[in-house]
Amino acid sequence: MLPVKPGDVAEGERRERTGGDVGMIYQPRALAQVPYAGGMVALAVILFLNAAFNALTWPNFFRRVVKDPRARDSNGKATAFLTVHLYIFIAAMVMAALSLVAGVAALAGGFD
């Protein structure tokens, strides 16, 4: 099979060189082997933005929850309100850390 550059032969001739499959268009091996990293960069950016949002937003939210009168009962013991929001805060911080690690892995080629 001869390598064909896009646009150098007519469509019918290209189909003949690829074995006659109507829907198949031959791609030179050199183009097929070039890795495309654009999707990984976009993924890394999204993951870094997610990590930054979680790291910047949730600590302020949790500080407000701790100061809320519903966080403690009359004896000073933590209420379900504080406990639930503590778990939400911990989950958000874990997701921020995982997003950061996944973003670095995406840039380093760890998902290839």
The CA distance from 109 to 100, in Å, is 14
Q: Which two tokens stand for residue 64?
A: 């407000």
Q: What is the pLDDT of residues 86-102, one digit of tens each?
A: 999 999 999 999 999 99
For the chain, what are the domain ranges? 1-34, 35-108
Q: Is the pTM of this model over 0.95?
A: no
Sequence-distant (≥ 6) Cβ neighbours of residue 42 within 8 angstroms: none
Q: What is the pLDDT of residues 32-42, one digit of tens each?
A: 555 655 688 88
